[in-house]
Amino acid sequence: MSKSVGEDILIELKRNRELLQMYIEIGPAGSFGAAMINQDIDNAEKALSEGNIIEILKSYEKLKNNE
């Protein structure tokens, strides 16, 4: 674990992008999961770009729980 949520969320974004690719590779059976992960990635990136701490924390928790 890093020293801050700001650092950890970047690690989780990278992990979720890799996870997204796995879901995409599954094909149609993975499309719902891919859509959900993609939405979580988009929300996290938006929160980071806006500097919205509350949304960053929410996004971090969602990204952390994706499998």
With a cut of 80, say whether residue 53 has pLDDT above it.
yes
Q: What is the pLDDT of residues 1-52, one digit of tens each?
A: 567 888 999 999 999 999 999 999 999 999 999 999 999 999 999 999 999 9
DSSP of the chain: --SSHHHHHHHHHHHHHHHHHHHHHH-GGGHHHHHHHHHHHHHHHHHHHHT-HHHHHHHHHHHHH--
Q: Are 26 and 35 in contact (CB under 8 A)?
A: no
Domain regions of the chain by residue span:
5-65
pLDDT score of 63: 98
